Chains A and B, each alone.
Chain A
């Protein structure tokens, strides 16, 4: 049995506590400029973030989505991704960034994006931290599909992270659900 990107075993009823919902942020009517998960328990091996989101960025199909770990705003993030826009495919790579990259969300089109993000071995203090994501938004005639990965150049255990849009706040009904995977 293979979870999306993460091996698991021992299915009985649910996955035997191997996949656990930790916290969910659902954006209310006032919108949200950032979404932060703090005091993340260190008792899991990996984290998975499942996102359903749209921002109020007008005239745009998508808005960028970024991540910062443990409040680090320094130039300590690098990332690569592959993106298809319905006709062309483009590969991107950036080093020494102040934010990690999670693809994007839907813009003010009425279509919400879907993002599944895996943050691997997040408590290990001997490794830089790596995340990967699959993201897409389709607005019936426009949209993006993207796969990517990034590294936070820090060996600290991840205890918190913040999700940030590039342009405009997240709108009502956007949701960010964090899970722990053993």
Chain B
């Protein structure tokens, strides 16, 4: 069984000022999966979401599982302009999240992302999202798409590449 070290940091972006989004562009096409680790929140209780390759059309869908310490719920959006990462919305303080974007360079299948986010003491959520497009992903925008407000200044997002043997 061959082996090769991987899980390579590609870039880190820190939101500053009043911005609704940050973008990882010119993403290398040399990995198998992408992972974004984030510590972030928004300036109003809207949401943080992902968009790929600048596509702002209604070409995404998400299914979510949420828990707030007493109640669990599930929700879905179809034909939507983004994939939710922080669906619940958090304007209180830094939560943490991880987004997995699988098999992002293949040009045969729609793309699937698996995401987690939580704010300690308040709620936790998991989301799965589809981008209904077979293009390779070359850029990822993290932003407030559905709702109002900005990314909180100081929010950080680090992109990693994972290469399968």
Could you tell me the distance between the alpha carbons of A146 and B112 in the complex, rounded to whole angstroms? 14
B6 touches A52 (CB 8 A): no
Contact B112 A113, beta carbon cutoff 8 Å: yes
- Which chain A residues lie closer than 8 Å to B35 at the CB level? 4
A-B interface contact total, Cβ < 8 Å: 177
Interface flags, B93-113, vs A, CB<8A=1, else 0: 000101010110010111011
Asked whether B74 lies within 8 Å of A22 as measured between CB atoms, the reply is: no
Q: Which residues of A contact B61 (CB under 8 A)?
A: 138-141, 143
A20 CB–B CB distance under 8 Å: yes
Answer whether A177 and B32 are a contact pair too, CB < 8 Å, given A21-B6, A22-B2, A50-B164: yes
Closest to A136 in B: B128
Q: Which of the 9-residue segments A63-71, A85-93, A94-102, A123-131 touches chain B?
A: A85-93
CB closest chain-A residue, reference B112: A114
Instruction: Check B126 against A147 for contact (C-beta < 8 Å).
Output: yes
Number of interface residues of B (CB under 8 A): 49
A141 near B110: Cβ-Cβ < 8 Å:
no
Known contacts A16-B5, A89-B65, A138-B63; is-contact A112 B127 (Cβ 8 Å): no
B88 located at the interface, meaning its Cβ lies under 8 Å from any Cβ of chain A in the complex: no
Q: Is the interface of A mostly helix, strand, loop or mixed?
A: strand
Number of A residues, CB within 8 Å of B = 57
Task: Assess whether A89 is in contact with B7, with CB atoms less than 8 Å apart.
Answer: no
B56 located at the interface, meaning its Cβ lies under 8 Å from any Cβ of chain A in the complex: no
Chain A residues near B5 (CB-CB < 8 A): 14-21
From the candidates A14, A85, A140, A144, name the one contacting B130 in the complex (CB within 8 A). A140
Q: Contact check, A3 vs B7: say whether CB atoms are below 8 A apart.
A: yes
CB–CB B73/A89 < 8 A: yes
Residues of B within 8 Å of A179, CB to CB, are 6, 162
Distance A54 CA – B7 CA, assembled complex (angstroms): 25
B residues at A contact (CB < 8 Å): 1-9, 32-33, 35, 37, 61-66, 72-76, 78-79, 96, 98, 100, 102-103, 106, 108-110, 112-114, 116, 126-130, 132, 162-165
Q: A114-B102, A177-B32 are in contact. List 15 more A-B contacts (CB 8 A).
A: A13-B8, A15-B7, A19-B7, A20-B4, A22-B165, A50-B100, A84-B65, A84-B126, A112-B110, A140-B130, A146-B65, A175-B164, A177-B33, A177-B165, A179-B162
